Every structure is written in structure tokens, then in C-alpha cells.
Copies of this chain bind each other. A is one copy, B any other.
Amino acid sequence: MTGVVYFSVSMSLDGYIAPDSPEELMGRQWMELQHWIFPTQFFRENLKLGAGGEGGPDDDVARATFERTGASIMGKRMFDAGEEMWPEEAPFHTPVYVVTHERRDAWERPGGTVFHFMNDGIDSALDQARAAAGERDVRIAGGAETILQYLNAGLIDEFTIALAPVLFGAGIQLFEGVDASRIALEQRDVVPTRRATHLTYTVRER
């Protein structure tokens, strides 16, 4: 029994998951995109922000996403942005495989997150992540380019989108460059909350 390969992102109604560059502040739009997760108990616990926070369906989604994940994969740009932003105890608490051309030794953080820098492509990174995850799932954490590489290669089993009630108008679109001739979706689960709509799809080949 092995886990699935999935991704889970917050997306604006017009399809964006990030501004054009990590330095770019989008002000209220960016906060509105992530607004469903900030008030949750899970978010506070995981970043050690202290007690409090809300339970409920948004909290359940955030917690379940964390708990199902035995290893994560991310692109170099996401790692670079995160390296600046994550607290010393990085919020993964599992192995994380960074797909990059940079050669670098594994980087162990307090709390169980270990970043491994993978130089031989997405398949190899996935093999390592699967082995590390065991029965749990492998999450393709981001960014959009890395998610699309795995999706277009037919390596994603399912995904969840937290569709936020906000329009970006510019930035990085999750599905730009998707091979739509190859990928069919099956709508599996919809969880509406006050702050977002959590949509889960199974990926099928056409």
C-alpha cells in the first residue's frame, strides 16, 4: 500500500497562485488568497504561533493536508523564497526534495524537516520522495512550474484547490502550459467554507 502523488494550492478565481515575483507584494489580494488558512488552529500550531485559532472545516482541510504528507517536492524558486521566510523550524516536518541544478548537501532543520537537493530530474526526485513517504502521500508543494511538470508528465494522481474569492488580474497562473489534450479531471469532493471552496479532483489520462 503506497500513497498517492498530489498537490494542494490556494488559487484565485482567475487562476493565479502567486504574484509574478516573490518580492512583489499584492497587498490585499495576496492576503485574501491565503485568508482561509491564517485563522486556523492548525496554522498557529504548525508555525508555533501560540494557542488559539479556529476549528472547523478550513482547519480540518489544512490539518488533513499536513497529516497525509510523508514527503514534499518543490522547485528551486519556491525553496529560495521559503528559505527567507520559514521559521528555523521549517513547517514540513518531513523530508523535502528540492528539484534544482544546484549541488548542495542535505540541510536539516529542527523539528524534522530535511531538505535534499536533487540534481537528476523530476522522476528521480519522485522516486526518492515515494520511498521516504512510505504509506503516506507525496505532495508536490510548488511552485506552478514544478506542479505543471509533474501534471503534464502524468505523475499526479489527484489535487486540491482552495479557490479563494479574489481576483488577481496578474501573476503566475497555476495551469498555464497544461497539456489539456492529455489530462481529464473527475470532480471528487467539494467543501465550501465561509472563506474558500476546497475542490478535489482525480486526474485521468484522456
Contacts and interface: CB of A to CB of B under 8 A. Distances in A.
Contact of A190 (B166, B169, B183, B192): B192
A83 B61 CA distance: 46
Nearest to A187: B165
Contacts of A32: 184
Interface in A152-197: 161, 163, 165-170, 173-181, 183-187, 190, 192, 194-197
Contacts of A179: 169
Interface string A60-87: 0000000000000000000000000000
A29 interface: yes
B14 A175 contact: yes
A13 interface: yes
Contacts of A194: 187
A195 B185 CA distance: 11
The 5 A-B residue pairs with the shortest CB-CB distance in the complex, in nearest-first order: A169-B180, A190-B192, A14-B175, A165-B187, A15-B15
